[in-house]
Chains A and B, each alone.
Chain A
Amino acid sequence: MPFTKRKTRVAGIGRRTSRTGLIAMYAVLIVAAVVVGFPVLFSFSLSFTPLSDIINGIYIPTSLYLENYVNAFEAQPFAQFIVNSFVVGIVGTALQIVFSMLAAYALVFIPFGGKRIIFLVIMATMMIPAEVLVVTNFQTIRAMGLIDTYAGLILPGVATTFGIFLYRQNMMQIPGELKEASDVAGLSRFQFFIRVVVPMVKNTTVTLAIYFFLVTWNAYLWPLISTTNDTARTVQIGLRTLNSSEGMSDFGMMAAGAVITSIPTLALIFFGQKRLQEGMTKGALK
């Protein structure tokens, strides 16, 4: 049997794979990639194609046609929405990072009574689907006067079980002797946190930052409920409004809107795929 000469680190298939096996594998992968990528690429193409062409079945732009984007920005204040989404995404992510880091630090490095119970309660909240909570949270946010504010959008999501869990896993791998050495050296608890723990959990922070930003940027239900006008509304809800007001009449403009909405997160995936994959695996293998 002919073997490829290339030395491959083979996880799924075997240390060495036959030439035909490799060809079949690449064929399957290319087909899969086309199928998976098609909806996005197709819309991307449509977003640069005039509506008149699309209706006639021409889906590929013949010239650089930007009218769809102009239309989208005119139909809805997308610039404002994008700013809103970035504010909510960045501030939300930062707070989620800080809050879960602090909580995990307490759970790992500070001895205090009731620690175990608190951890179990935090883990248990993971089982409560967010959709069950939105009714009451809407009332709470409204009572706080935070409807249509960034704070109202951000606050309910800044404590995350997943973040606390992942940081805790990571911090438990920091040897206790490092804490003791810093006790002897005279560092305070907070100094140890800032100087040792924060830099040592850097990888988890990167993973979580990517993940939190994706989740916050893509959030749909809560931004839909907690915004009633354009002041704090995120780009997702902008796309929804575009969808429900314009319907599917202007394909190119809808495609442009969806592309605008997806660019930041897709860029994040392109650069952070590996980090995300490594971090998520850690979380899955509790």
Chain B
Amino acid sequence: MAKIVCKDLKKSYDGKTEVLAGINLEIQEGEFFILVGPSGCGKSTLLRIIAGLEGVSAGELIMDGKLANEMLPKDRNLTMVFQSYALYPHLSVRDNILFGLDVKKVAKDEQERRLAEAAELLGLTDYLDRKPRALSGGQRQRVALARSVCSQAPLCLMDEPLSNLDAKLRASMRVEIRRLQQRLGLTVVYVTHDQVEAMTMGDRIAVLSNGRIQQLGTPLELYNHPANEFVATFIGTPQMNMAIAEVQPEGLVLNDDVVVPLSAEDRAKLPAGTRWKVGFRPEQVYPATATSVHQVDVSVVSSEMMGNETLIFFNVGSELFTARWQGQHRVETGAALRVSLDPRYAHFFDVNTGALVRAAEDLDEQGARSTSVVDESLAARMEAAPAAPMA
């Protein structure tokens, strides 16, 4: 049985503008479910509706098979981890973790048992008598998690719980929360605006924009088959390169600027029509080899060396494209660069609606292939570049 079902859920504060414009989804028991989207997309509102902190304007919210539209938060048997952690400054860590358990009539010794267990699990045993203000950001986050663990509610809602942590801590907490969820068998609904969190933590992801679900699926489904231009550009960093593409006798013209030569075979494989929006993931903008059919000459705008990879920026018409190459490539600003833009690896979107027309070829295969391409390019670069690589 699905844990949570939303049927055509709508929410409006003023009766005119819809914050949520008909949400349909099912969240399964034990699932780590992510709601992701830019700020103002309605993801937090949806979470708060599930929590019972906000009412529903229209539609149905069903929890554990029961209509929950008017159920009070305390009757929903869930916990919530807030962005600010919602720790009570006047209470010790112990009392913060146990907050509300006495109201739920949990016996004293049972409380102590759960407290010990949760504190152990989250490494808080030595801090139980401190006040929240004497804790670091990461420790506060753990206290908030411990509160959820202690309540033993099967459903945990998390509202951007990692956004106040620094990058390093965030990465380790991602792993920790995921492990906790699996160990306790929790159903988690997790709101974030960070697509890295969404991709790395979620069993399934719902991408929201303008109060609507743009796409619902596993992380790789979203990455490999984005339902529309919004999902394509939202998921993946650096962002997917987008351009208007038109079939012309000389090839595929991107943004009335760059011409990608097409073979007869390529032309046959193009989706129906002559004009689309096409998207290339940065890692699929390859360095051209001597044999590349789809080679295009561009001029480098700038580059960023990350050590393990290099980002190279160039213009395609008015759009800035990014290429992401493994290894270290020394490219001067303004230098001419020959890249390969293979239409097989491009996502095609309807130029008006932005809906997906044809996804890129299966990336699993490409994954294998791209490795070899990189090897080739490395070899090519070694020949061309006078400076030896650092590694």
Contacts and interface: CB of A to CB of B under 8 A. Distances in A.
A185 B151 contact: yes
Given A183-B74, A184-B78, A184-B79, A200 B52 contact: no
Interface string A245-275: 0000000000000000000000000000000
Interface stretch (B81-89, B229-237, B299-307): B81-89
B104 to A, nearest CB: 6
The number of chain B residues touching the other chain, given as a range, is 20 to 34
Nearest to A180: B53
Contacts of B360: none
Contact of B86 (A180, A187, A199, A202): A180
Contacts of B52: 183-184
A90 B121 CA distance: 49
Nearest to B83: A177
Contacts of A181: 80, 82, 86, 99
Contacts of B354: none
Given A180-B51, A200-B90, A187 B100 contact: yes
A45 interface: no
Nearest to A178: B86
A185 to B, nearest CB: 3
Contacts of B103: 185-188, 191
A164 B55 CA distance: 30
Contacts of B100: 182, 184-187
Interface of chain B: mostly helix, strand, loop or mixed: loop
Contact of A178 (B48, B73, B88): B88
Given A177-B86, A180-B51, A199-B90, A186 B80 contact: no
Contacts of B53: 180, 183-184
Interface of A: 175, 177-178, 180-188, 191, 196, 199-200, 202
Interface of B: 48, 51-53, 72-74, 78-80, 82-84, 86, 88-90, 99-101, 103-104, 151
30 contacts: A175-B84, A175-B86, A177-B82, A177-B86, A180-B48, A180-B51, A180-B53, A180-B73, A180-B80, A180-B82, A180-B86, A181-B80, A182-B100, A183-B72, A183-B74, A184-B73, A184-B74, A185-B74, A185-B79, A185-B100, A185-B101, A185-B103, A185-B151, A186-B103, A186-B104, A187-B74, A196-B88, A199-B90, A200-B88, A200-B90
